[in-house]
Amino acid sequence: MANLATELFHEIRPDFFRVLTGTNAAIYVDVLDALETEATERNEGMNREEVLAIVSEVLAQHPDFQPDEETPVRISDPLPLREKARLVLDRLVRAGWLKTHTGADWQRTVYFDEHGVTLLTALRKIAYPDAAVFTDKLVGVCA
């Protein structure tokens, strides 16, 4: 039987978890949550402009966002919100959370990776634990 790490990193990129660490982790999680929530309502994916609008909305709630050190862009002036949204989108695509497809009409469609959906479901369960459910045995003991 192969070890967990071998199988895991065969399925996902090693950079996949990196977005969940560092100074922008909370921002990336909020962006991923917003995108995945919207993506569940669409089977055909979202066009890139819609995705950039959603990312921009989340970034507007996080004015402290600064590009990661891995970002190839080095700009000393503050970036416009749309440019920050583009950097976030590109980062999530490079990490494997999102996938893009360019159609015959040159329109780019963005899809949420199925492994990302699985991990976001787990993160939501951690953040919003279910209410305790008591069994008959426990109720009988407490009565």
Q: Cβ(40)–Cβ(111) under 8 Å?
A: no
Q: Cβ(96)–Cβ(110) under 8 Å?
A: no
pLDDT of residue 77: 58
The model's pTM: 0.80
Each of the 143 residues of the chain gets a pLDDT tens digit; together they read 678 888 888 888 878 999 998 889 999 999 999 999 988 877 778 999 999 999 999 999 998 888 876 655 555 557 889 999 999 999 999 999 999 888 777 788 898 888 888 999 999 998 988 755 555 555 555 55
Rounded CA separation 60/89 (Å):
15
pLDDT of residue 72: 56
Rounded CA separation 103/44 (Å):
12
pLDDT of residue 44: 79
Q: Cβ(56)–Cβ(81) under 8 Å?
A: yes
